[in-house]
Chains A and B, each alone.
Chain A
Amino acid sequence: MADLKSNFLGITSPNPFWLASAPPTDKAYNVNRAFEAGWGGAVWKTLGEDPPIVNVSGPRYSAMHSNERRVIGFNNIELITDRPLATNLDEMRQIKKDWPDRALVASVMLPMNEETWARYLPMIEETGIDAFELNFGCPHGMSERGMGAAVGQVPEYIQMASEWAKKAASVPVIVKLTPNVASILPPAKAALDGGADAVSLINTINSIMRVDYDSLTMYPTTDGMGTHGGYCGEAVKPIALNMVAEIARTKETRAIPISGIGGITDWRDAVDFLALGASNVQVCTAAMVYGFKIIDDLVDGLSRFLDDKQLTLDQLIGKAVPSVTDWQYLNLNYVEKAVINQDLCIQCGRCHVVCEDTSHQAITHTVNGERHFEVIDAECVGCNLCVSVCPVDGCITMQQLTEGTDPRTGEPISRIKANWTAHPNNPMRKAD
């Protein structure tokens, strides 16, 4: 089985799976259980100034469920640690002593003045932690007080605080980014410019889960009133992957190591993050939904996958980044058509009706008077909608046309790659 030993910024851990700074890392009891279960590291629940903040004593979490009540998306309004700093530091010190092979990172959130950072960081570092993670991500509660996402949304603040942290800390500094921005690149660049050693992303997304259908108030509420929370869980993974890939493929930011966060539930999600440029990953929601035991599949699945691919963990990191580009560079001469495997087709007709109603009228429902679903190549634009909605895995596949003529356009299939930058319809096209 492939070795999953991870080295992130010189911090080693037996595997690249850390628990993200969140409720699961609130105190020693939880973190001990996590390490017993096999987690590679933990980013401690965000520390702040004393006196500690207070949390609501009503619902902090809510979920978006499938009908089977599988948690697809998750929302929280919990703030940073509500325990005294000294209590946290004592426990962290003990944990690091008891688990020297695991990564222990202190997440911090402090007001925006240098003195505070200079005062608190050495005190925290003294516990023996391996790194700091600066929480510039939490979108709820703390952002109202000028911290969390309020910092993460202003690149100048990120740079400033990163510089303060680097000055005060001797261990590596990771900057945790908020996704509640128009582009993730300026914040990532600011962290790099401020001297941060890495970025971690994404933190949660501003969200309201739903309304209560009886009271017609937002749901959930604290005594009749609610506030937006941070959205996470499986549903946010694609948003996170895009942001990770953007940082990893952009010239100005690609030098900075990434700790990937956002909806990681099984080992394949970890492969997504690693291949798109993250060097390790952090998990929270899946643990909050299923408990710490999910680490078994994360570790086992990733290790077997690396064996199958004959790759090391390091070789997997960033493997898919070169395949991510801008739309303008996609080959417009490339043609695919959907093909329905009639032996696997169960005749539900979903492909037909969605193509008929919402796409290109390219799938039959009847052939020679019989119920039969078949792609009409002369109409198929290769959009992948039918593949996406078909309930049978592998029944509909996309197949490339490599020769002859595209029956839809009447144009011959060309082996020459040609993208929008040189397309005749592009008024901004570059000269040949």
Chain B
Amino acid sequence: MSSADQQADIRGNRLDKDEIAKNFSDLHPPLSRSEALIAADRCYFCYDAPCTTACPTGIDIPGFIQKIRSDNLRGSAHTILSENIMGGMCARVCPTEVLCEEACVRNTHEEKPVEIGLLQRYATDPVFDQQVPLFSRAPETGKKVAVVGGGPAGLSCAHRLATLGHDVVVFNRDSKPGGLNEYGIAAYKAIDDFAQKEVEYIVSIGGIELRNNTALGRDFTLNELRQSYDAVFVGIGLGSTNELDLDRESLAGVDSAIEYIAELRQADDLSRLPVGRRVVVIGGGMTAIDIAVQSKRLGAEVVDLVYRRGPEQMGASQYEQNLAKTNGVTIHHWAQPVEIIGDDHVTTIRFERTALDGNGRLSSTGAQFELTADTVFKAIGQLLDIGVLGADTIGLEIRNDRIVVNDVGRTTLRKVWAGGDCVSGGDDLTVTAVQQGKIAAIDIDRRLRQE
């Protein structure tokens, strides 16, 4: 902790350990068997079920719920995980209120959907807790595939490839696998080291070699992989963050939300993690909500979240916005930062009011206001770290800062597939990354068998 931090009132131990433990316990406690049976009974077993259509990974939701009803939990988990090997994490982090549960016909009937996310967790938890093997590998093909990135897209791709009989090496930049599941998800959504349990399960199928602390562009190049492997899958996520483009942006106290969340996720003792007394979050996506809520739960006294547009345009779902509000976060819409104020450390940040002009473009209304801040978190989106792709960028089409792929994940570079947040056309959801990893694996397999 720097002296500037002390001056700015950034410190740990704002709350005692019990309070912290309570604040970072399971956001949605798991269902008991009785609760699950009652919840499962509410499923109508729809024809061509809208929930399944709404699921990016196409899980047969009525099918797995039917199996819960009959106490066939391993069968239920198999139904889930065969479409989405990260069905355990997705059960925790999916914005179900805009996916499967939004599509549930019970909404029309009684405005309360079947609790699909919680049921999915009920079915899959025992599999990860007890590491129950549900999948086996096809006969080995002798083909070797490199997967760059140990996040949801990469691990999903690796698991499917291993299932289909290929050998996979996963090159993972971080010291632990899991990507955003390990470093990015809000702590209360994936307690008890669930991300690692899931990775352990995925790798346990065999044929997957995990190489941590191995970064593209630093330790190896894409070209090297293309030469030594039969296929390459790139699932590197978005490695750098957007900037506000303001003066004094590097002032102490102006931090990246992504980095702070990663630190929080890896902290041994959350009660000692320093947090500002007054926190200002800039952004409107899930990361903005996560950092705002977690700051509050660490003991920040005042947390303001400022977003330049209205609630409808926020990347965070209505549920997430409400979560922030019920946690005491004040959300300010239609304002953007114009000046960071402070000498050694940020003290204040000035915003201008925004509105849409006649052409539908965001513009300033001229009105301004200031918020005092011990910490300002930037949560305004991430960018593809094009640098790590190196010279191989030539021939690899990149558009709007994302790698261009077709509908089965092929890039414009021969032998290279990609998926997850780093590709175009996604929605930055874990579940979408899992699906993209899966469909790329299926296409890679098809291609390798043709050779």
**CA distance in complex: A364, B198 (Å):** 42
A67 touches B48 (CB 8 A): no
Known A352-B47, A353-B47; judge A392-B109 contact (CB<8 A). Answer: yes
Q: Pick the contact of A349: B47, B106, B108 (CB < 8 A).
A: B47
Interface residue B44 (Cβ < 8 Å from any Cβ of A)? yes
Residues of A within 8 A of B109 (CB): 346, 391-392
Distance from A369 Cβ to chain B, minimum over Cβ atoms (Å): 13
Interface residue B263 (Cβ < 8 Å from any Cβ of A)? no
A349 touches B46 (CB 8 A): yes
Distance from B104 Cβ to chain A, minimum over Cβ atoms (Å): 9
**CA distance in complex: A392, B108 (Å):** 10
Contact with A along B26-68 (1 / 0, CB 8 A): 0000000010011011001111111000000000000000000
Interface residue B176 (Cβ < 8 Å from any Cβ of A)? no
Residues of B within 8 A of A350 (CB): 44-47
Interface residue B69 (Cβ < 8 Å from any Cβ of A)? yes
**CA distance in complex: A365, B49 (Å):** 12
Interfacial residues of chain A within 300-351, with CB under 8 A of chain B in the complex: 346-350
B105 touches A347 (CB 8 A): yes
A371 touches B48 (CB 8 A): yes
B50 touches A347 (CB 8 A): yes
B37 touches A348 (CB 8 A): no
Interface residue A66 (Cβ < 8 Å from any Cβ of B)? yes
**CA distance in complex: A365, B50 (Å):** 12
Interface residue A411 (Cβ < 8 Å from any Cβ of B)? no
**CA distance in complex: A69, B38 (Å):** 9
Distance from B199 Cβ to chain A, minimum over Cβ atoms (Å): 34
Interface size class of B (residues with CB under 8 A): 10 to 19
Residues of B within 8 A of A349 (CB): 46-49
Residues of A within 8 A of B37 (CB): 67-68
Contact with A along B97-109 (1 / 0, CB 8 A): 0000000011011
**CA distance in complex: A198, B431 (Å):** 68
Distance from A131 Cβ to chain B, minimum over Cβ atoms (Å): 43
**CA distance in complex: A202, B418 (Å):** 69
Q: DSSP class of A's interface residues: helix, strand, loop or mixed?
A: loop
**CA distance in complex: A242, B438 (Å):** 57
**CA distance in complex: A347, B106 (Å):** 10
Closest to B40 in A: A67
Q: Pick the contact of A347: B34, B69, B108 (CB < 8 A).
A: B108
Closest to B44 in A: A348
**CA distance in complex: A409, B313 (Å):** 56
Distance from A68 Cβ to chain B, minimum over Cβ atoms (Å): 5
Count A-side interface residues using an 8 Å CB cutoff: 15
A67 touches B105 (CB 8 A): no
**CA distance in complex: A349, B37 (Å):** 23
Residues of A within 8 A of B47 (CB): 348-350, 352-353, 365
B69 touches A67 (CB 8 A): yes
A391 touches B44 (CB 8 A): yes
Residues of A within 8 A of B105 (CB): 346-348
Residues of A within 8 A of B44 (CB): 348, 350, 391
A67 touches B38 (CB 8 A): yes
Distance from B73 Cβ to chain A, minimum over Cβ atoms (Å): 13
Distance from A340 Cβ to chain B, minimum over Cβ atoms (Å): 14
Distance from A344 Cβ to chain B, minimum over Cβ atoms (Å): 9
A66 touches B46 (CB 8 A): no
**CA distance in complex: A391, B45 (Å):** 11
A346 touches B48 (CB 8 A): no
**CA distance in complex: A391, B41 (Å):** 12
B40 touches A346 (CB 8 A): no
**CA distance in complex: A67, B68 (Å):** 10
B108 touches A346 (CB 8 A): yes
Closest to A347 in B: B105
Contact with B along A71-109 (1 / 0, CB 8 A): 000000000000000000000000000000000000000
Closest to A395 in B: B109
Distance from A41 Cβ to chain B, minimum over Cβ atoms (Å): 37
Residues of B within 8 A of A66 (CB): 41
Distance from B312 Cβ to chain A, minimum over Cβ atoms (Å): 25
**CA distance in complex: A348, B50 (Å):** 8
A68 touches B50 (CB 8 A): no
Closest to B39 in A: A67
Known A347-B105, A347-B108; judge A67-B41 contact (CB<8 A). Answer: yes
**CA distance in complex: A66, B41 (Å):** 9
**CA distance in complex: A374, B118 (Å):** 33
Residues of B within 8 A of A352 (CB): 47
Residues of B within 8 A of A371 (CB): 48, 50
Distance from B123 Cβ to chain A, minimum over Cβ atoms (Å): 15
Residues of B within 8 A of A346 (CB): 105-106, 108-109
User: What are 5 A-B pairs with beta-carbon distances under 8 A?
Assistant: A68-B38, A350-B45, A350-B46, A350-B47, A352-B47
Tell me the A residues contacting B by CB distance below 8 Å.
Answer: 66-69, 346-350, 352-353, 365, 371, 391-392
Tell me the B residues contacting A by CB distance below 8 Å.
Answer: 34, 37-38, 40-41, 44-50, 69, 105-106, 108-109
Closest 10 A/B residue pairs (Cβ): A349-B47, A353-B47, A346-B108, A67-B41, A67-B37, A346-B105, A348-B46, A348-B44, A348-B105, A346-B109
Beyond A67-B37, A349-B47, A392-B109, list 8 extra A-B contacts (CB 8 Å). A68-B37, A68-B38, A346-B106, A346-B108, A347-B105, A347-B108, A350-B46, A365-B47
